Homo-oligomer: A and B are copies of this chain.
Amino acid sequence: MDIDKNKNFSEWFNTIISDAGLADLRYNVKGFVVFRPWSVKSMKLMYAAYEAELEARGHSPALFPALIPEQNFKIEGEHVEGFTPQVFWVEQAGGNKLEERLAMRPTSETAMYQMYALWIQGLADLPLKIYQSCQVWRYETKATKPFFRSREFHWIEAHDCFATEKEARGQVREDMEMTEAVVHQQFGIPFLFFQRPEWDKFPGAVHTYAADTLMPDGRVLQLPSTHLLGTNFAKAFNVYYQDEKGEKSPVWQTCYGPAISRIYGALFSVHGDNKGLVLPFDFAPVQVVIVPILGKGQDGEAVLKYANEVLAHLLHDGIRAKVDSTPSTPGFKYNHWEMHGVPVRIEIGGREAEAKQITLVMRDAPPKTKKTISLTESIMVIRSEGAALSSRLLAKADAYFGSHLAQAKTMDELKAGLEKGCIVRVPYCSMEKTEGKGCADEIKAQLVGDVRGIKYDEKAPAHGETCVYCQKPAQHFAYVARQY
């Protein structure tokens, strides 16, 4: 493929999904896609990285049912109001009408918290930190787009309970740290964490904090969000603990939801180039492809034998490698594996076979940049070059993201920033629904811009500034962007 990702992102996106075999969009239920092996292999590695991070921070895995009785679903008022329009309902099983209809989980609060009420009695049961890796279903009314927004997606949800507000707020910070450690440092995807406006919170939450990354078409995509639930759900679901004095109090709760299938979409959109996928070394299904080059007059058998020797050497060290010994030309193979984002290509011809060497080409290297090394040093060099490639992807993504942050004080400046595909920082009147939502509606109507919230760590109010839209005194700097 040769499509300019930044100019024709939509075409690039659809082409890569099809040509690299990431997903098949022809499944005959609207908004549902089939995830094919090349994306699933990477998503499995991403799941493992995220689960390891969650477990290192004290979370344990569990598995809750996919079906939630309507009576549970209706317990927390804001939650039921927010999610009801999106629920797939099961009313029949076999030939029978069910006594009570069942929701396919759009998220699991209402499945999990009734069990938490049974599990938590005293301080010894706290904190409780549980996650599940699962899929959820939401009957989206917005336009769907594979990976970014589907009616079925694959995620992790962590649901934590604490004795105190302070601990719950600490968990929200830890969730942000985990996002930094995994999404940014490991996956190489930059983002900003925003505290969402009051009118854009998770239904039932006290505060919602969400990470926004930027796509090549200048639109932001929400990555993991973490929610301070306060004691809303605890009171509704009767999750109380008894303290040393025998007094009962509701637990403080948080929940955190990294959607792996969406983050994978962000990963390939951020790192890809005009030739196709570019995958970080640790998340590539194949990290090293070995291409035997059978030139005229060369001993083909010796080259193939040596290629397999190199393969065995790499596999033995746990590197995901394969030999491409199909009958295609080397040029065809180079294009094929570049398009699939394989980080390292090893070329092996007669010379390499004889000298017990390998010639390395990195996926992101300028044309004709090759490096020939000995087989004995191959593991060390491949691992360090692989890590260096991942670092370059991160640095490049950070630079792009940083160059698309702008400031504006007027609607004209905001318009200019949005048209350049930027996330724009503006003085803004209020994050409260009654005072601030009107301006957000106008910015949406006039500039197709969305108020994403305030930066969670930017405590300084916008003294002396006036709201970019209504000109009333600004309480905050808010961030505006076009969104998916």
List B contacts of A82 (CB < 8 A): none
Tell me, yes or no, whether A288 is within 8 Å of chain B by CB: no
In the complex, are the beta carbons of A154 and B63 less than 8 A apart? yes
- Render A20-34 as a binary contact track against B, CB cut-off 8 A, 1 for contact: 000010111100111
Q: For the complex, what is the distance from the CA of A34 to the CA of B69, rounded to whole Å?
A: 14
In the complex, are the beta carbons of A63 and B87 less than 8 A apart? no
In the complex, are the beta carbons of A66 and B34 less than 8 A apart? no
Tell me, yes or no, whether A62 is within 8 Å of chain B by CB: yes
In the complex, are the beta carbons of B67 and A29 less than 8 A apart? yes
Tell me, yes or no, whether A465 is within 8 Å of chain B by CB: no
Q: For the complex, what is the distance from the CA of A66 to the CA of B152, rounded to whole Å?
A: 8
- Render A118-152 as a binary contact track against B, CB cut-off 8 A, 1 for contact: 11000000000010000101010100000000001
Q: For the complex, what is the distance from the CA of A43 to the CA of B61, rounded to whole Å?
A: 10
Which of A9-17, A90-98, A415-423 is the interface stretch?
Answer: A90-98
In the complex, are the beta carbons of B24 and A40 less than 8 A apart? no
Chain B residue at minimal CB-CB distance from A59: B37
Q: For the complex, what is the distance from the CA of A104 to the CA of B118, rounded to whole Å?
A: 29
Which residues of A are interface residues toward B (Cβ below 8 A)? 24, 26-29, 32-37, 40-41, 43-44, 60-69, 71-72, 84-96, 101-102, 104, 111, 114-115, 118-119, 130, 135, 137, 139, 141, 152, 154
Chain B residue at minimal CB-CB distance from A90: B88
Assuming the A-B contacts A37-B60, A61-B41, A69-B28, are A91 and B94 also in contact, with contact meaning beta carbons closer than 8 angstroms in the complex? no
18 A–B contacts from the bound complex (CB under 8 Å): A24-B119, A26-B115, A29-B65, A29-B67, A34-B62, A34-B65, A35-B63, A35-B64, A41-B60, A44-B61, A63-B154, A67-B137, A87-B94, A88-B93, A89-B91, A91-B91, A91-B92, A104-B104
In the complex, are the beta carbons of B88 and A95 less than 8 A apart? no
List B contacts of A89 (CB < 8 A): 90-93
List B contacts of A114 (CB < 8 A): 28
In the complex, are the beta carbons of B28 and A72 less than 8 A apart? yes
In the complex, which of the residues A67, A130, A135 has the most CB atoms of chain B within 10 Å of its own CB atom?
A67
Q: For the complex, what is the distance from the CA of A137 to the CA of B94, rounded to whole Å?
A: 11
Assuming the A-B contacts A61-B41, A94-B84, are A29 and B104 also in contact, with contact meaning beta carbons closer than 8 angstroms in the complex? no
Q: For the complex, what is the distance from the CA of A93 to the CA of B137, rounded to whole Å?
A: 10
Q: For the complex, what is the distance from the CA of A104 to the CA of B95, rounded to whole Å?
A: 14
Task: Say which residue of B28, B119, B141 sits within 8 Å of A94 (CB atoms).
Answer: B141
Task: Say which residue of B35, B67, B139 sits within 8 Å of A93 (CB atoms).
Answer: B139
In the complex, which of the residues A27, A66, A95 has the most CB atoms of chain B within 10 Å of its own CB atom?
A27
List B contacts of A66 (CB < 8 A): 66, 104, 135, 137, 152
List B contacts of A115 (CB < 8 A): 24, 26-27, 34
Q: How far is the CB of A148 from chain B (nearest CB, A)?
A: 16
Q: For the complex, what is the distance from the CA of A325 to the CA of B57, rounded to whole Å?
A: 19
Q: How far is the CB of A125 from chain B (nearest CB, A)?
A: 12
Q: For the complex, what is the distance from the CA of A28 to the CA of B88, rounded to whole Å?
A: 18
Assuming the A-B contacts A26-B115, A27-B115, are A62 and B36 also in contact, with contact meaning beta carbons closer than 8 angstroms in the complex? yes
Chain B residue at minimal CB-CB distance from A91: B91
